[in-house]
């Protein structure tokens, strides 16, 4: 039997998906790396905590009284001491060997903060369209850094350097869920860290049937607008806002999202911190790809 890989812990956030979490944990527990696993239960009311205690006694359970969204990952990271943390959602899991490969890459490349895995969509195992987009990144690859360079990442299938994550402050309490990675990634890039999509690292995603697609779309539109005004220079923020709003459906969900974004304007302006020129140049290279992407459709 392979020795446990003590470099990586897995942090899973969950909310009212007891059966799906059970399946995900079984798969994580079967990994040859035998990672320590932390589950942050975001205030579930369906018996999730009892299930974890009963069926997954080796898993560290942290219960929150309310749904913290992505901030639950911050809680999980604070509870571990391994140099690397693999984020996992309750409808995703890593392939055997993926965590060791990610840890090896992080060991070998001290400037690398995030390794994002290739996503195989289940059932069927097809490659997620977002992976094809990441593989076509127009960003210049930093010398010696593996994979395809990124300026954001997909939290549910990414392994992060704990030191970098803590240095950047983790996920914002304002954004909750839905494109929450972009703001954190921006602060990592500002601090000089690199992020990469590495298709040799593989994760699987079987999308939950319990998700609220309308709420996720509402938050995604809102968070994109917030990020744009938190970090982009004025001219870029105006252009991206206009192009972003031109793409979204003309319906009440989009209307609510824009209203949410406007309500948050006071704190956004207070916390606005424009990225350095070299990061902005990267965003400009990515703008057209993202705004015409078939993998980033605002539908629900």
Among residues 176, 205, 234, the one where a domain terminates is 205
Q: Decide if pLDDT at 298 tops 80.
A: no
Whether residues 69 and 168 fall in one domain: yes
Whether residues 196 and 123 fall in one domain: yes
* C-alpha 290, offset from chain centre: 16
User: pLDDT tens for residues 16-48?
Assistant: 999 999 999 999 999 999 999 999 999 999 999
Whether residues 62 and 188 fall in one domain: yes
User: Does the residue 299 lie in any domain?
Assistant: no
Q: Where are the beta strands (DSSP E) in the chain?
A: 8-14, 36-42, 60-64, 84-89, 92-94, 112-121, 126-127, 148-149, 158-161, 194-205
Among residues 205, 225, 246, the one where a domain terminates is 205
User: Does the residue 48 lie in any domain?
Assistant: yes
Whether residues 58 and 145 fall in one domain: yes
Whether residues 197 and 171 fall in one domain: yes
User: Does the residue 35 lie in any domain?
Assistant: yes
Q: Decide if pLDDT at 144 tops 90.
A: no
Q: Decide if pLDDT at 300 tops 90.
A: no
User: pLDDT tens for residues 173-201?
Assistant: 999 999 999 999 999 999 999 999 999 99
User: Does the residue 237 lie in any domain?
Assistant: yes
Count how many domains the chain has: 2
Among residues 205, 235, 267, the one where a domain terminates is 205
Give pTM, 2 decimals. Answer: 0.94
**130 with 156: CB under 8 angstroms?**
no
Average pLDDT, the chain: 95
User: Does the residue 247 lie in any domain?
Assistant: yes
Whether residues 14 and 145 fall in one domain: yes
* Closest-CA residue to 39 (of 81, 3, 73): 73
Whether residues 143 and 283 fall in one domain: no
End-to-end CA distance of the chain: 45
Whether residues 249 and 273 fall in one domain: yes
User: Does the residue 298 lie in any domain?
Assistant: no
Per-residue pLDDT at 295: 62
Whether residues 26 and 79 fall in one domain: yes
Q: Decide if pLDDT at 296 tops 80.
A: no
- Burial class for 46, CB neighbours closer than 10 Å (0-12, 13-18, 19+): middle
Whether residues 265 and 119 fall in one domain: no
> What's the CA angle centered on 97, arms 94 and 70, to 5 degrees?
30
- Which structural domain range is residue 275 located in? 213-291
Whether residues 41 and 178 fall in one domain: yes
Write the CATH number for 121: 3.90.550.10
């Amino acid at each position: 039997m392979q020795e446990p890989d003590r470099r990586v812990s897995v942090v899973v956030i969950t909310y009212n998906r007891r059966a799906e979490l059970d399946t995900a944990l079984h798969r994580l527990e079967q990994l040859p790396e035998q990672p320590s696993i932390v589950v942050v239960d975001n205030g579930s009311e369906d018996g999730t905590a009892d299930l974890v205690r009963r069926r997954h006694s080796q898993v560290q359970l942290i219960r929150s009284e309310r749904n913290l969204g992505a901030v639950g990952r911050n809680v999980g990271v604070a509870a571990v001491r391994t140099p690397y943390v693999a984020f996992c959602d309750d409808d995703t899991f890593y392939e055997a060997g993926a965590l060791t490969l990610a840890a090896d890459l992080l060991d070998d490349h001290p400037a690398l903060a995030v390794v994002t895995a290739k996503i195989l969509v289940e059932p069927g195992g097809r490659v997620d369209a977002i992976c094809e987009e990441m593989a076509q990144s127009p960003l210049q690859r930093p010398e010696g850094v593996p994979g395809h360079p990124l300026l954001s990442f997909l939290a549910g299938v990414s392994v992060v350097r704990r030191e970098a994550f803590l240095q950047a402050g983790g996920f914002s309490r304002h954004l909750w869920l839905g494109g929450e990675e972009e703001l954190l990634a921006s602060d990592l890039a500002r601090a000089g860290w690199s992020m990469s999509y590495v298709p040799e690292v593989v994760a699987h995603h079987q999308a939950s049937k319990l998700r609220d697609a309308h709420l996720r779309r509402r938050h995604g539109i809102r968070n994109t607008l917030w990020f744009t005004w938190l970090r982009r220079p004025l001219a870029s923020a105006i252009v991206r806002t206009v192009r972003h709003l031109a793409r979204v459906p003309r319906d009440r969900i989009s209307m609510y999202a824009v209203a949410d974004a406007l309500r948050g304007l006071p704190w956004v302006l207070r916390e606005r911190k424009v990225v350095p020129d070299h990061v902005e140049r990267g965003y400009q290279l990515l703008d057209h790809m993202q705004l015409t992407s078939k993998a980033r459709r605002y539908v629900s």
